[in-house]
A and B are shown apart, each in its own frame.
Chain A
Protein backbone atom coordinates (compact mmCIF):
# COMPACT_ATOMS: atom_id res chain seq x y z
CA UNK A 1 0.00 0.00 0.00
CA UNK A 2 1.40 3.39 -0.98
CA UNK A 3 2.01 6.11 1.61
CA UNK A 4 -0.91 8.18 0.40
CA UNK A 5 -3.24 5.21 0.86
CA UNK A 6 -2.22 4.88 4.51
CA UNK A 7 -2.91 8.57 5.01
CA UNK A 8 -6.25 8.27 3.20
CA UNK A 9 -7.27 5.33 5.35
CA UNK A 10 -6.29 7.08 8.57
CA UNK A 11 -7.99 10.31 7.54
CA UNK A 12 -11.27 8.63 6.66
CA UNK A 13 -11.20 6.39 9.74
CA UNK A 14 -10.46 9.23 12.16
CA UNK A 15 -12.06 12.23 10.53
CA UNK A 16 -14.28 10.92 7.75
CA UNK A 17 -17.48 11.54 9.69
CA UNK A 18 -16.36 15.06 10.61
CA UNK A 19 -15.50 15.82 6.99
CA UNK A 20 -18.93 14.68 5.87
CA UNK A 21 -20.59 16.79 8.53
CA UNK A 22 -18.44 19.76 7.56
CA UNK A 23 -19.56 19.28 3.96
CA UNK A 24 -23.16 18.94 5.16
CA UNK A 25 -22.99 22.47 6.55
CA UNK A 26 -22.54 23.53 2.96
CA UNK A 27 -24.80 21.09 1.13
CA UNK A 28 -27.60 20.76 3.64
CA UNK A 29 -27.81 16.98 3.16
CA UNK A 30 -25.70 13.98 4.11
CA UNK A 31 -25.88 12.18 0.77
CA UNK A 32 -24.72 15.25 -1.11
CA UNK A 33 -22.08 15.82 1.55
CA UNK A 34 -20.67 12.32 1.06
CA UNK A 35 -20.48 12.92 -2.70
CA UNK A 36 -18.73 16.20 -2.03
CA UNK A 37 -16.18 14.67 0.33
CA UNK A 38 -15.42 11.80 -2.03
CA UNK A 39 -14.77 14.22 -4.88
CA UNK A 40 -12.62 16.38 -2.59
CA UNK A 41 -10.60 13.34 -1.50
CA UNK A 42 -9.98 12.42 -5.14
CA UNK A 43 -8.80 15.92 -5.95
CA UNK A 44 -6.63 16.27 -2.87
CA UNK A 45 -4.90 12.90 -3.15
CA UNK A 46 -4.50 12.92 -6.93
CA UNK A 47 -2.32 16.00 -7.05
CA UNK A 48 0.89 14.28 -6.04
CA UNK A 49 1.35 16.60 -3.11
CA UNK A 50 3.03 14.93 -0.14
CA UNK A 51 0.07 14.41 2.21
CA UNK A 52 2.02 12.46 4.79
CA UNK A 53 -0.20 12.66 7.84
CA UNK A 54 -3.92 12.78 8.40
CA UNK A 55 -4.13 16.09 10.27
CA UNK A 56 -2.47 18.09 7.51
CA UNK A 57 -4.45 16.19 4.91
CA UNK A 58 -7.71 17.08 6.62
CA UNK A 59 -7.11 20.79 6.23
CA UNK A 60 -6.26 20.29 2.58
CA UNK A 61 -9.34 18.15 1.97
CA UNK A 62 -11.55 20.73 3.68
CA UNK A 63 -10.25 23.33 1.25
CA UNK A 64 -11.05 20.96 -1.60
CA UNK A 65 -14.53 20.45 -0.18
CA UNK A 66 -15.13 24.17 -0.38
CA UNK A 67 -13.77 24.38 -3.91
CA UNK A 68 -15.88 21.50 -5.14
CA UNK A 69 -18.88 22.98 -3.37
CA UNK A 70 -18.53 26.32 -5.07
CA UNK A 71 -17.89 24.63 -8.39
CA UNK A 72 -21.02 22.57 -8.24
CA UNK A 73 -24.06 23.82 -10.05
CA UNK A 74 -25.94 20.59 -9.59
CA UNK A 75 -25.47 20.76 -5.89
CA UNK A 76 -26.39 24.39 -5.94
CA UNK A 77 -29.63 23.43 -7.60
CA UNK A 78 -30.28 20.83 -4.89
CA UNK A 79 -29.85 23.51 -2.24
CA UNK A 80 -32.46 25.53 -3.99
CA UNK A 81 -34.69 22.51 -3.67
CA UNK A 82 -34.30 22.37 0.10
CA UNK A 83 -34.83 26.02 0.79
CA UNK A 84 -38.46 25.37 1.60
CA UNK A 85 -37.14 23.58 4.69
CA UNK A 86 -36.49 26.99 6.20
CA UNK A 87 -37.20 26.72 9.88
CA UNK A 88 -38.91 30.07 9.94
CA UNK A 89 -38.28 33.16 12.01
CA UNK A 90 -39.81 31.94 15.22
CA UNK A 91 -37.48 31.03 18.02
CA UNK A 92 -38.23 29.01 21.11
CA UNK A 93 -37.28 29.92 24.60
CA UNK A 94 -35.70 27.36 26.86
CA UNK A 95 -32.43 25.91 28.03
CA UNK A 96 -29.48 25.54 25.73
CA UNK A 97 -29.69 22.29 23.84
CA UNK A 98 -26.70 21.44 21.67
CA UNK A 99 -28.43 18.96 19.39
CA UNK A 100 -31.38 21.27 18.84
CA UNK A 101 -28.99 24.09 18.11
CA UNK A 102 -27.22 21.92 15.52
CA UNK A 103 -30.50 21.10 13.80
CA UNK A 104 -31.51 24.73 13.81
CA UNK A 105 -28.18 25.84 12.44
CA UNK A 106 -28.39 23.30 9.61
CA UNK A 107 -31.87 24.44 8.70
CA UNK A 108 -30.91 28.09 8.90
CA UNK A 109 -27.76 27.61 6.82
CA UNK A 110 -29.85 25.87 4.16
CA UNK A 111 -31.71 29.11 3.60
CA UNK A 112 -28.59 31.02 2.65
CA UNK A 113 -27.22 31.43 -0.83
CA UNK A 114 -24.18 29.20 -1.40
CA UNK A 115 -21.58 31.94 -1.16
CA UNK A 116 -23.06 33.33 2.01
CA UNK A 117 -23.10 29.85 3.47
CA UNK A 118 -19.47 29.34 2.52
CA UNK A 119 -18.52 32.62 4.17
CA UNK A 120 -20.28 31.64 7.40
CA UNK A 121 -18.59 28.24 7.53
CA UNK A 122 -15.16 29.69 6.82
CA UNK A 123 -15.63 32.42 9.40
CA UNK A 124 -17.27 30.53 12.25
CA UNK A 125 -15.98 26.99 11.79
CA UNK A 126 -12.60 27.49 10.15
CA UNK A 127 -12.05 30.68 12.12
CA UNK A 128 -10.62 32.52 9.14
CA UNK A 129 -10.35 36.29 9.07
CA UNK A 130 -12.14 38.36 6.48
CA UNK A 131 -9.02 38.83 4.33
CA UNK A 132 -8.36 35.10 4.51
CA UNK A 133 -11.92 34.32 3.40
CA UNK A 134 -11.62 36.87 0.63
CA UNK A 135 -8.44 35.20 -0.57
CA UNK A 136 -9.97 31.74 -0.39
CA UNK A 137 -13.10 32.68 -2.34
CA UNK A 138 -11.56 35.15 -4.75
CA UNK A 139 -13.67 38.00 -3.41
CA UNK A 140 -12.87 41.47 -2.15
CA UNK A 141 -12.78 42.11 1.58
CA UNK A 142 -15.78 44.38 1.22
CA UNK A 143 -17.80 41.69 -0.52
CA UNK A 144 -17.00 39.21 2.23
CA UNK A 145 -18.07 41.71 4.86
CA UNK A 146 -21.32 42.31 3.03
CA UNK A 147 -21.92 38.59 2.65
CA UNK A 148 -21.27 37.98 6.33
CA UNK A 149 -23.50 40.84 7.32
CA UNK A 150 -26.33 39.60 5.12
CA UNK A 151 -25.81 36.03 6.32
CA UNK A 152 -25.87 36.94 10.00
CA UNK A 153 -28.95 39.06 9.43
CA UNK A 154 -30.70 36.13 7.78
CA UNK A 155 -29.52 33.60 10.36
CA UNK A 156 -30.73 35.76 13.20
CA UNK A 157 -34.14 35.67 11.62
CA UNK A 158 -34.16 31.91 12.12
CA UNK A 159 -31.95 31.42 15.17
CA UNK A 160 -32.47 34.51 17.22
CA UNK A 161 -29.69 36.84 18.37
CA UNK A 162 -26.15 35.77 17.50
CA UNK A 163 -24.17 37.93 19.92
CA UNK A 164 -20.77 36.45 19.16
CA UNK A 165 -21.36 36.75 15.46
CA UNK A 166 -22.07 40.42 15.92
CA UNK A 167 -18.59 40.94 17.35
CA UNK A 168 -16.88 40.41 14.04
CA UNK A 169 -13.40 41.61 13.47
CA UNK A 170 -14.88 43.78 10.78
CA UNK A 171 -17.22 46.69 10.61
CA UNK A 172 -20.47 45.33 9.29
CA UNK A 173 -22.02 47.27 6.51
CA UNK A 174 -25.63 48.38 6.84
CA UNK A 175 -27.94 46.47 4.52
CA UNK A 176 -30.66 49.04 4.51
CA UNK A 177 -33.08 46.67 6.13
CA UNK A 178 -34.76 47.21 9.49
CA UNK A 179 -35.35 44.53 12.01
Chain B
Protein backbone atom coordinates (compact mmCIF):
# COMPACT_ATOMS: atom_id res chain seq x y z
CA UNK B 1 0.00 0.00 0.00
CA UNK B 2 1.19 3.50 -0.67
CA UNK B 3 -0.18 6.74 0.67
CA UNK B 4 -0.75 9.92 -1.22
CA UNK B 5 0.43 12.30 1.47
CA UNK B 6 -1.07 15.44 -0.06
CA UNK B 7 -4.45 13.77 -0.52
CA UNK B 8 -4.40 12.33 2.99
CA UNK B 9 -3.70 15.75 4.49
CA UNK B 10 -6.43 17.43 2.45
CA UNK B 11 -8.85 14.67 3.45
CA UNK B 12 -7.87 15.12 7.07
CA UNK B 13 -8.62 18.85 6.95
CA UNK B 14 -11.37 19.23 4.40
CA UNK B 15 -13.17 15.89 4.62
CA UNK B 16 -16.67 15.42 6.06
CA UNK B 17 -17.16 16.65 9.61
CA UNK B 18 -18.13 14.01 12.14
CA UNK B 19 -21.72 14.39 13.35
CA UNK B 20 -22.23 15.74 16.82
CA UNK B 21 -18.99 17.63 16.90
CA UNK B 22 -19.73 21.00 18.58
CA UNK B 23 -18.86 24.10 16.65
CA UNK B 24 -15.93 26.19 17.73
CA UNK B 25 -17.09 28.55 20.45
CA UNK B 26 -16.28 32.10 19.43
CA UNK B 27 -17.97 33.99 22.25
CA UNK B 28 -14.81 34.32 24.28
CA UNK B 29 -12.72 34.85 21.16
CA UNK B 30 -14.88 37.77 20.02
CA UNK B 31 -14.67 39.36 23.48
CA UNK B 32 -10.87 39.13 23.46
CA UNK B 33 -10.73 40.62 19.98
CA UNK B 34 -13.00 43.52 20.96
CA UNK B 35 -10.83 44.29 23.96
CA UNK B 36 -7.62 44.23 21.95
CA UNK B 37 -9.06 46.38 19.24
CA UNK B 38 -10.36 48.84 21.81
CA UNK B 39 -6.93 49.13 23.39
CA UNK B 40 -5.30 49.68 20.01
CA UNK B 41 -7.89 52.28 19.06
CA UNK B 42 -7.38 53.99 22.41
CA UNK B 43 -3.67 54.17 21.90
CA UNK B 44 -4.11 55.63 18.43
CA UNK B 45 -6.59 58.16 19.83
CA UNK B 46 -4.19 59.21 22.55
CA UNK B 47 -1.39 59.71 20.06
CA UNK B 48 -3.68 61.76 17.84
CA UNK B 49 -4.77 63.95 20.74
CA UNK B 50 -1.14 64.55 21.70
CA UNK B 51 -0.32 65.62 18.16
CA UNK B 52 -3.21 68.09 18.10
CA UNK B 53 -2.13 69.52 21.43
CA UNK B 54 1.39 69.99 20.18
CA UNK B 55 0.14 72.11 17.28
CA UNK B 56 -1.83 74.31 19.61
CA UNK B 57 0.85 74.76 22.24
CA UNK B 58 3.84 75.44 20.06
CA UNK B 59 7.25 74.11 19.23
CA UNK B 60 8.37 73.31 22.76
CA UNK B 61 5.45 70.97 23.29
CA UNK B 62 5.98 69.47 19.86
CA UNK B 63 9.55 68.62 20.74
CA UNK B 64 8.38 67.00 23.98
CA UNK B 65 5.79 64.99 22.09
CA UNK B 66 8.37 63.76 19.62
CA UNK B 67 10.70 62.76 22.43
CA UNK B 68 7.97 60.81 24.17
CA UNK B 69 6.70 59.15 20.99
CA UNK B 70 7.52 55.67 19.92
CA UNK B 71 10.12 55.16 17.22
CA UNK B 72 9.28 54.44 13.65
CA UNK B 73 10.79 51.54 11.79
CA UNK B 74 14.51 51.89 11.12
CA UNK B 75 15.47 50.18 7.86
CA UNK B 76 18.48 47.97 8.29
CA UNK B 77 18.34 47.97 12.09
CA UNK B 78 19.95 44.98 13.73
CA UNK B 79 17.41 42.29 14.66
CA UNK B 80 16.05 43.08 18.10
CA UNK B 81 17.38 46.63 18.07
CA UNK B 82 15.25 49.75 18.41
CA UNK B 83 13.18 50.33 15.31
CA UNK B 84 13.77 46.88 13.87
CA UNK B 85 10.91 44.73 12.68
CA UNK B 86 9.90 41.98 15.07
CA UNK B 87 9.97 39.59 12.13
CA UNK B 88 13.69 40.19 11.73
CA UNK B 89 14.29 38.30 14.97
CA UNK B 90 13.36 35.18 13.06
CA UNK B 91 12.49 32.07 14.97
CA UNK B 92 14.33 29.37 16.79
CA UNK B 93 16.40 27.01 14.72
CA UNK B 94 16.16 23.80 16.64
CA UNK B 95 14.19 22.50 19.54
CA UNK B 96 14.89 25.10 22.18
CA UNK B 97 12.52 27.61 23.65
CA UNK B 98 12.38 30.19 26.40
CA UNK B 99 9.74 30.40 29.10
CA UNK B 100 9.06 33.89 30.35
CA UNK B 101 6.62 34.22 33.22
CA UNK B 102 5.47 37.55 34.56
CA UNK B 103 5.74 38.12 38.30
CA UNK B 104 2.38 38.26 39.97
CA UNK B 105 0.36 36.60 37.23
CA UNK B 106 0.33 33.03 38.51
CA UNK B 107 -2.24 31.52 40.82
CA UNK B 108 -1.15 30.07 44.12
CA UNK B 109 -3.16 27.04 45.14
CA UNK B 110 -2.85 25.15 48.39
CA UNK B 111 -0.02 23.03 47.09
CA UNK B 112 1.51 24.65 44.07
CA UNK B 113 1.94 27.74 41.99
CA UNK B 114 0.19 27.46 38.67
CA UNK B 115 1.11 29.57 35.71
CA UNK B 116 0.88 29.62 31.97
CA UNK B 117 4.22 30.07 30.29
CA UNK B 118 2.41 31.32 27.18
CA UNK B 119 0.11 33.61 29.12
CA UNK B 120 0.32 37.41 29.27
CA UNK B 121 3.15 38.88 31.31
CA UNK B 122 0.70 41.06 33.16
CA UNK B 123 -0.92 44.47 33.23
CA UNK B 124 1.40 47.01 34.72
CA UNK B 125 0.96 50.46 36.18
CA UNK B 126 4.66 50.78 36.73
CA UNK B 127 7.25 50.66 33.99
CA UNK B 128 9.31 47.91 35.54
CA UNK B 129 8.71 44.46 34.11
CA UNK B 130 9.45 41.62 36.51
CA UNK B 131 9.78 38.17 34.96
CA UNK B 132 11.47 34.83 35.46
CA UNK B 133 13.21 32.96 32.67
CA UNK B 134 13.71 29.30 31.89
CA UNK B 135 15.37 27.96 28.78
CA UNK B 136 13.86 24.68 27.63
CA UNK B 137 15.63 22.21 25.38
CA UNK B 138 13.95 19.31 23.64
CA UNK B 139 16.02 16.39 24.79
CA UNK B 140 14.48 13.78 22.56
CA UNK B 141 11.18 11.97 22.36
CA UNK B 142 9.09 12.67 25.41
CA UNK B 143 11.79 14.52 27.28
CA UNK B 144 12.77 18.11 27.87
CA UNK B 145 15.60 19.67 29.80
CA UNK B 146 15.08 22.94 31.60
CA UNK B 147 17.95 25.30 32.17
CA UNK B 148 17.98 28.44 34.24
CA UNK B 149 19.85 31.20 32.47
CA UNK B 150 22.65 32.82 34.40
CA UNK B 151 21.73 36.02 36.19
CA UNK B 152 24.71 37.57 34.44
CA UNK B 153 23.45 36.60 30.99
CA UNK B 154 19.66 36.54 31.04
CA UNK B 155 17.80 36.40 27.72
CA UNK B 156 17.42 39.66 25.84
CA UNK B 157 13.98 41.20 25.60
CA UNK B 158 12.35 43.32 22.93
CA UNK B 159 9.05 45.12 23.41
CA UNK B 160 7.10 45.42 20.19
CA UNK B 161 4.12 47.41 19.04
CA UNK B 162 2.65 47.16 15.58
CA UNK B 163 5.50 44.91 14.56
CA UNK B 164 8.26 47.38 15.48
CA UNK B 165 10.65 47.12 18.43
CA UNK B 166 9.88 50.14 20.61
CA UNK B 167 11.83 49.25 23.73
CA UNK B 168 14.90 47.17 24.43
CA UNK B 169 14.75 46.69 28.20
CA UNK B 170 17.84 46.21 30.26
CA UNK B 171 20.06 45.67 32.01
CA UNK B 172 18.27 43.12 34.16
CA UNK B 173 18.59 43.16 37.93
CA UNK B 174 17.05 41.17 40.72
CA UNK B 175 13.65 42.21 41.97
CA UNK B 176 13.36 43.26 45.61
CA UNK B 177 11.39 40.07 46.20
CA UNK B 178 14.18 38.00 44.66
CA UNK B 179 16.75 39.83 46.76
CA UNK B 180 14.70 38.94 49.82
CA UNK B 181 14.53 35.29 48.75
CA UNK B 182 18.26 35.20 48.07
CA UNK B 183 18.95 36.90 51.37
CA UNK B 184 17.02 34.24 53.18
CA UNK B 185 18.70 31.46 51.20
CA UNK B 186 22.14 32.63 52.17
CA UNK B 187 21.12 32.77 55.81
CA UNK B 188 19.17 29.51 55.72
CA UNK B 189 20.23 27.67 58.90
CA UNK B 190 18.52 24.46 57.80
CA UNK B 191 21.25 23.63 55.34
CA UNK B 192 18.70 22.99 52.62
CA UNK B 193 20.46 25.54 50.48
CA UNK B 194 24.06 25.10 51.56
CA UNK B 195 25.42 26.93 48.57
CA UNK B 196 23.08 29.82 49.05
CA UNK B 197 20.98 29.86 45.89
CA UNK B 198 19.14 26.96 44.36
CA UNK B 199 20.75 27.05 40.93
CA UNK B 200 17.85 25.18 39.34
CA UNK B 201 15.25 27.70 40.49
CA UNK B 202 14.14 30.37 38.06
CA UNK B 203 15.02 33.80 39.33
CA UNK B 204 12.90 36.88 39.21
CA UNK B 205 14.54 39.72 37.33
CA UNK B 206 13.32 43.19 36.58
CA UNK B 207 13.97 45.51 33.66
CA UNK B 208 12.94 49.09 32.94
CA UNK B 209 10.48 49.67 30.10
CA UNK B 210 11.87 52.83 28.53
CA UNK B 211 10.90 53.94 25.04
CA UNK B 212 13.55 53.73 22.35
CA UNK B 213 15.02 57.03 21.24
CA UNK B 214 14.24 58.80 24.49
CA UNK B 215 16.20 59.63 27.59
CA UNK B 216 14.54 56.90 29.59
CA UNK B 217 10.96 58.02 28.96
CA UNK B 218 8.57 55.29 30.09
CA UNK B 219 6.52 53.52 27.46
CA UNK B 220 3.02 54.96 27.01
CA UNK B 221 -0.06 52.94 27.98
CA UNK B 222 -1.19 50.32 25.52
CA UNK B 223 -0.87 46.71 24.55
CA UNK B 224 2.50 45.36 23.52
CA UNK B 225 4.16 42.11 22.55
CA UNK B 226 7.36 40.93 24.19
CA UNK B 227 9.95 38.66 22.56
CA UNK B 228 12.90 36.98 24.23
CA UNK B 229 16.04 35.59 22.72
CA UNK B 230 19.34 34.19 23.81
CA UNK B 231 22.45 32.81 22.22
CA UNK B 232 23.58 31.02 25.32
CA UNK B 233 21.50 27.85 25.33
CA UNK B 234 22.59 26.61 21.95
CA UNK B 235 26.02 27.75 20.78
CA UNK B 236 25.98 29.30 17.38
CA UNK B 237 22.22 29.44 17.18
CA UNK B 238 19.94 32.15 18.40
CA UNK B 239 16.99 30.92 20.43
CA UNK B 240 14.01 33.18 19.89
CA UNK B 241 10.63 32.92 21.56
CA UNK B 242 7.49 34.92 22.00
CA UNK B 243 5.43 36.92 21.77
CA UNK B 244 3.97 37.35 25.17
CA UNK B 245 1.25 39.93 25.70
CA UNK B 246 1.95 42.87 27.96
CA UNK B 247 -0.51 45.60 28.87
CA UNK B 248 0.69 48.92 30.23
CA UNK B 249 -1.91 50.87 32.18
CA UNK B 250 -2.24 54.55 32.98
CA UNK B 251 -0.13 55.27 36.00
CA UNK B 252 -2.07 56.15 39.16
CA UNK B 253 -0.51 58.88 41.25
CA UNK B 254 -3.21 59.63 43.80
CA UNK B 255 -1.69 58.99 47.21
CA UNK B 256 -3.57 56.87 49.69
CA UNK B 257 -5.30 59.07 52.33
CA UNK B 258 -3.78 57.97 55.59
CA UNK B 259 -5.27 58.13 59.06
CA UNK B 260 -3.74 60.31 61.76
CA UNK B 261 -0.77 58.76 63.45
CA UNK B 262 0.27 56.53 60.54
CA UNK B 263 4.07 56.37 60.38
CA UNK B 264 5.23 58.82 57.75
CA UNK B 265 8.34 56.84 56.81
CA UNK B 266 6.33 53.90 55.42
CA UNK B 267 5.53 54.60 51.75
CA UNK B 268 2.38 52.94 50.48
CA UNK B 269 1.71 52.13 46.86
CA UNK B 270 -0.83 54.55 45.27
CA UNK B 271 -4.30 53.04 45.15
CA UNK B 272 -7.59 52.83 47.02
CA UNK B 273 -7.45 52.41 50.77
CA UNK B 274 -9.44 49.30 51.62
CA UNK B 275 -8.71 49.14 55.33
CA UNK B 276 -6.48 50.83 57.90
CA UNK B 277 -6.51 49.54 61.44
CA UNK B 278 -4.31 50.68 64.29
CA UNK B 279 -3.77 47.64 66.48
CA UNK B 280 -4.47 48.44 70.12
CA UNK B 281 -1.72 46.36 71.62
CA UNK B 282 -4.00 43.70 73.06
CA UNK B 283 -2.40 40.99 70.95
CA UNK B 284 -0.19 43.12 68.75
CA UNK B 285 0.60 46.72 68.10
CA UNK B 286 1.24 48.67 64.96
CA UNK B 287 -0.81 49.05 61.82
CA UNK B 288 -2.64 46.78 59.43
CA UNK B 289 -3.30 48.52 56.11
CA UNK B 290 -4.75 47.13 52.87
CA UNK B 291 -4.54 49.02 49.57
CA UNK B 292 -6.34 47.97 46.38
CA UNK B 293 -4.56 48.56 43.07
CA UNK B 294 -5.13 48.07 39.36
CA UNK B 295 -2.75 45.82 37.47
CA UNK B 296 -0.67 42.81 38.36
CA UNK B 297 2.46 44.64 39.48
CA UNK B 298 1.21 46.08 42.77
CA UNK B 299 3.57 43.98 44.84
CA UNK B 300 6.52 44.90 42.68
CA UNK B 301 5.70 48.61 42.95
CA UNK B 302 5.10 48.40 46.70
CA UNK B 303 8.44 46.69 47.26
CA UNK B 304 10.19 49.19 45.01
CA UNK B 305 8.72 52.12 46.97
CA UNK B 306 9.88 50.61 50.24
CA UNK B 307 13.35 49.86 48.85
CA UNK B 308 13.66 53.42 47.51
CA UNK B 309 12.76 54.67 51.01
CA UNK B 310 15.65 52.73 52.50
CA UNK B 311 13.95 49.50 53.51
CA UNK B 312 15.98 46.33 53.10
CA UNK B 313 14.92 42.72 52.86
CA UNK B 314 14.88 40.76 56.08
CA UNK B 315 13.41 37.50 54.94
CA UNK B 316 10.98 36.01 52.49
CA UNK B 317 9.20 32.81 51.96
CA UNK B 318 10.92 30.58 49.46
CA UNK B 319 8.14 28.82 47.63
CA UNK B 320 7.97 26.80 44.48
CA UNK B 321 11.45 27.15 43.16
CA UNK B 322 12.04 30.69 44.19
CA UNK B 323 9.29 32.21 42.10
CA UNK B 324 7.26 34.74 43.95
CA UNK B 325 3.72 33.57 44.58
CA UNK B 326 0.94 36.06 44.82
CA UNK B 327 0.41 35.46 48.48
CA UNK B 328 4.11 35.37 49.26
CA UNK B 329 5.12 37.32 52.31
CA UNK B 330 8.10 39.64 52.17
CA UNK B 331 9.50 41.31 55.25
CA UNK B 332 11.49 44.52 55.01
CA UNK B 333 12.82 46.81 57.68
CA UNK B 334 14.47 50.12 58.29
CA UNK B 335 15.82 51.60 61.49
CA UNK B 336 12.38 52.19 62.95
CA UNK B 337 9.87 49.80 61.45
CA UNK B 338 9.33 46.25 60.27
CA UNK B 339 6.95 45.92 57.32
CA UNK B 340 5.45 42.62 56.23
CA UNK B 341 3.92 42.82 52.76
CA UNK B 342 1.55 40.28 51.25
CA UNK B 343 -0.65 40.28 48.18
CA UNK B 344 -3.95 38.69 47.28
CA UNK B 345 -6.22 38.80 44.26
CA UNK B 346 -8.86 41.35 45.22
CA UNK B 347 -12.57 41.22 44.71
CA UNK B 348 -12.85 44.88 43.69
CA UNK B 349 -9.28 45.40 42.56
CA UNK B 350 -6.82 43.44 40.45
CA UNK B 351 -4.64 43.02 43.52
CA UNK B 352 -4.85 43.97 47.19
CA UNK B 353 -1.69 44.63 49.16
CA UNK B 354 -1.65 44.22 52.90
CA UNK B 355 0.99 45.96 54.99
CA UNK B 356 1.57 44.75 58.52
CA UNK B 357 3.65 47.44 60.21
CA UNK B 358 5.24 47.37 63.65
CA UNK B 359 7.99 49.27 65.40
CA UNK B 360 11.35 47.56 65.80
Contact = CB atoms under 8 A, between A and B. Distances in A.
Given A25-B9, A76-B97, A137-B91, A42 B26 contact: no
B3 A101 contact: yes
A80 B33 contact: no
Interface string A149-179: 0001001000111111100000000000000
A161 to B, nearest CB: 5
Contacts of A165: 5-6
B24 A155 contact: no
Interface stretch (B139-147, B257-265, B295-303, B308-316): B139-147
A159 B5 CA distance: 9
Interface of A: 4-5, 8-9, 12-13, 16-22, 24-25, 34, 37-38, 41-42, 45-46, 48, 70-74, 76-77, 80-81, 83-84, 91-94, 96, 98, 101-102, 104-106, 111, 113-115, 120-121, 124-125, 127, 137-139, 143, 152, 155, 159-165
Interface in B1-55: 1-15, 17, 21, 23-24, 26, 28-30, 32-33, 36-37, 40
A38 B28 contact: yes
Given A17-B17, A160-B2, A76 B12 contact: no
A46 B29 contact: no
A124 B118 contact: no
Contact of B33 (A25, A46, A91, A101): A46
Contacts of B23: 12-13, 16-17
B221 interface: no
Nearest to A103: B12
B30 A92 contact: no
Contacts of A94: 1
Contacts, number: 151
Given A18-B13, A104-B3, A113 B36 contact: no
Kindly name the residue among B30, B40, B93 whose own CB sees the greatest number of chain A CB atoms within 10 A.
Answer: B30
B117 A71 contact: no
Contacts of B5: 105, 120, 124, 152, 155, 159, 162, 164-165
B78 interface: no
23 contacts: A8-B26, A21-B12, A21-B13, A42-B36, A46-B32, A46-B37, A46-B40, A80-B141, A80-B144, A81-B142, A84-B142, A102-B11, A104-B8, A105-B5, A105-B12, A114-B95, A120-B5, A124-B6, A125-B6, A138-B87, A152-B5, A161-B3, A164-B4
A104 B12 CA distance: 10
Given A41-B33, A106-B12, A111-B141, 20 more contacts: A16-B24, A19-B24, A38-B29, A70-B92, A71-B241, A73-B117, A74-B117, A80-B138, A80-B142, A93-B1, A98-B8, A102-B12, A105-B5, A105-B8, A105-B9, A121-B9, A138-B87, A162-B4, A162-B5, A165-B5
A73 B243 CA distance: 12
B29 A8 contact: yes
Contacts of A46: 32-33, 36-37, 40
A83 B141 contact: yes
